[in-house]
Amino acid sequence: MACWDFSGKTAILAGGATLIGRATAEAFVAAGASVVIADIDEDGGRAAVAALGERALFVPTDVTDDAAIDACIAQAVETFGGIDYLVNVTTSYIDNGLDTTRADWLRALDIALVGGAMFVQKVAPHLIARKGAIVNFSSISGHCAQAGRFVYPAAKAAVAQLTRSQALEFAPRGVRVNSVTPGWTWSNVMSALSGDDRAKADRVGGAFHMAGRIGDAAEVARGVLFLCSDQASFIMGAELPVDGGYGALGPEQGGNAIADLMG
C-alpha cells in the first residue's frame, strides 16, 4: 500500500476476523495505520492480531449488543488515542429464501444492517473530531435477483441506501461515508460453500465476471483504503464496485449459482 500513508490513523474493522476483514486490516497496517478488529470470532481475531503485530488490537464484539460496541470504541480510544475510520464488514448469511422465518429475518438484519448502523451512531463523535471516513459493505447481491435468496440481497440493498443517507448526514461534519460493492470474492462463505476449493469457485463464479474469476480479498481491501484516503476526498454516498465487471455484465440469468458452487 505504498501509494497511501495512514500513519497515525486508526481504523475499527467490524467483522475484521473474516478473510476480507483480515485483508483490509493487513492493508491498513502496511500503510502505517493501527487497526482494531471487532468480531465475535475470538480465535480468528486473536490469530489476526498475532500476525499483524503491535499496531493491531482485537476486541471481542457482538454488533447486536450496544454495550459491546461501546466497549470496543472505548478500548480503541484508550489504546490508540482516537478513531479515524470505521469499516463495517460484518454481515449475515442467514437466508432460506421464501422459507426464512420471522426470527431469522430479524436476526439477520440485526447483524447485517442494524449492527453497522449502531456502530456508526456510537463512533460518530470520534470520527467527526478527526474528520474521518466510514466504509460500509454492500454487495452485487443488492442489485439483482438471485435464486433462493431473499434476506442477504435485501440487507445489502438496505446497506447501500443507508450509506447514501449517512453520507448526507455526515458530509457537513467533515466525515465521508461510502460503500464498497464486491462481486463474488474469496471469503469465509465462498470457502465454506466450495469446500475450500478456490479453483472451483473461480470456475463457477468466473462466468458472471468479466475478469473470468472471482475476486481476492486484497482487491476489495484496496477499494476500502482508497475510499478512506484523501484521494477520495470528493466521493460521498457512493458505491465503489469491486466486482470484476459483474454489475456491467449482467445478472445470473435465472440460474442458481450458489447451488452450482455447492454441487
Each residue of 224-258: pLDDT tens digit? 999 999 999 999 999 999 999 999 886 555 456 66
Task: Answer yes or no: are the C-beta atoms of 150 and 93 closer than 8 Å.
Answer: no
Prediction pTM value: 0.92
pLDDT at 1 over 60: no
Sheet holding 176-182, edge to edge: 56-60, 34-39, 10-14, 85-88, 133-137, 176-182, 239-242
Kindly list the catalytic residues: 152
Each residue of 64-122: pLDDT tens digit? 999 999 999 999 999 999 999 999 999 999 999 999 999 999 999 999 999 999 999 99
Measure the CA–CA gap between 180 and 240, rounded to whole angstroms: 5
Task: Answer yes or no: are the C-beta atoms of 215 and 108 closer than 8 Å.
Answer: no
User: What's the 3-state SS for the chain?
Assistant: CCCCCCCCCEEEEECCCCHHHHHHHHHHHHCCCEEEEEECCHHHHHHHHHHHCCCEEEEECCCCCHHHHHHHHHHHHHHHCCCCEEEECCCCCCCCHHHCCHHHHHHHHHHHHHHHHHHHHHHHHHHHHCCCEEEEECCHHHHCCCCCCCHHHHHHHHHHHHHHHHHHHHHHHCCEEEEEEECCECCHHHHHHHCCCHHHHHHHHHHHCCCCCCECHHHHHHHHHHHHCHHHCCCCCCEEEECCCHHHHCCCCCCCHHHHHHC
Measure the CA–CA gap between 135 and 98, rounded to whole angstroms: 30
- Give all domains of the chain, ordered by start, each with its CATH number: 10-188+217-253 (3.40.50.720)
Q: How far is CA 162 from the centre of its chain?
A: 14
Each residue of 192-206: pLDDT tens digit? 888 889 999 999 888
Q: Which of 126-130, 138-142, 161-165, 200-204 has the lowest mean pLDDT?
A: 200-204
Each residue of 25-46: pLDDT tens digit? 999 999 999 999 999 999 999 9
Q: Which residues contact 177 (CB under 8 A, 6 or more apart)?
A: 120, 133, 134, 135, 136, 163, 166, 167, 169, 170, 171, 236, 237
What is the reported pLDDT for 250?
66
CB atoms within 10 A of CB 254: 8
Locate 140 and state its grid cell.
452485487
